[in-house]
Amino acid sequence: MKPLRRDDIASFDGVELAVHRVGEGKPILLLHGLFSDAQTNWIKFGHAAKLAEAGFEVVMPDLRAHGQSARPHDPAAYPADVLARDVAALVQHYGWTGFDLAGFSLGARTAARCVINGLKPRRLALVGMGLEGLAGWDKRAAFFIDAIDRFAEVKRGDPAFMAVSFMKTMKVDLVAARLLLQAVADATPDQLAAHLTMPTLVLCGHEDRDNGSPERLAELLPDARLQLIPGTHMSSVTKPEMGAALADFFGA
């Protein structure tokens, strides 16, 4: 893999974001999933390398409260739509006049909110996402907030067990994560259909329905196509088919 570079960038409110970059060429911005980071979602399993080989500069922030980015405990650091505002600050920082955008799970939700709020990527990929995960976020957020609140008592067999196990593996800052979950804005089907008009790939593990129906999401968007790859929500990230599908779509 080509050498990784790291930038530390002050967001719109001064909170520092760690941004990892690899490759040269057209910029593509990759947003990772909840409780994860750029290394786990995009670098570890070769997806970033695949896109760099296809001629992209791959730009991968650790989202606020994740990875090597700041994890503030002040509620004021988590205004509504904070992640989308962070992404807009990154686009402004780099001065891009054109870029592609992809997100996995929470990253897909953030990407959708970015477009609704006015960012205009040339192409968009929503990975590990279904319609209900974009237009019904409150239920998902409540599930994870409950998992954080019961963190010490969750045992195997509990519906929250996998989420808590992943939080432990990733050494998640529970205070920052809980604040962030309350700052993620929802989207309506009408908003999605009206704003997500660019060529869009809905990419999902064939066993993944954690965020609802990818089929319904692809049907709703005016210029979207659905592609299924092997795996569940968690395991699809480890499959080479994810990076290959992204490289095929964005490189077309």
Q: What is the mean pLDDT of each run of 10 residues along the chain (252 residues)?
A: 90 98 97 97 98 97 98 98 98 96 97 97 98 89 95 96 96 97 92 98 97 97 98 97 98 77
Domain contains 155: no
User: Could you tell me where the beta strands, DSSP code E, fall in 35-175?
Assistant: 56-61, 100-104, 124-127
pTM listed for this prediction: 0.97
**DSSP class of 28:** E
Pairing of strands 124-127, 100-104: parallel
Q: Which residues pair with 58 in a beta bridge?
A: 22, 28
Domain contains 165: no
Number of domains in the chain: 1
**CATH code of 62's domain:** 3.40.50.1820
Domain contains 172: no
Domain contains 144: no
Domain contains 164: no
Burial, 98: exposed, middle or buried (Cβ in 10 Å; 0-12, 13-18, 19+)? Answer: exposed
pLDDT at 136: 84
Greatest C-alpha distance within the chain: 49
- Angle formed by the axes of helices 137-149 and 161-169, nearest 10°: 70
Domain contains 115: yes
Domain contains 171: no
For 206, other C-beta atoms within 10 Å of its C-beta total: 13
**Residues 89-143: pLDDT tens digits?**
999 999 998 999 999 999 999 999 999 999 999 999 999 999 999 998 888 899 9
Domain contains 157: no
Q: Which of 30, 192, 217 is nearest to 116 (CA)?
A: 192
Are 4 and 22 within 8 A, CB to CB? yes
The structure tokens listed for 65 are: 């409260």
Query: What range defines the domain where residue 126 resides?
Result: 5-136+184-251
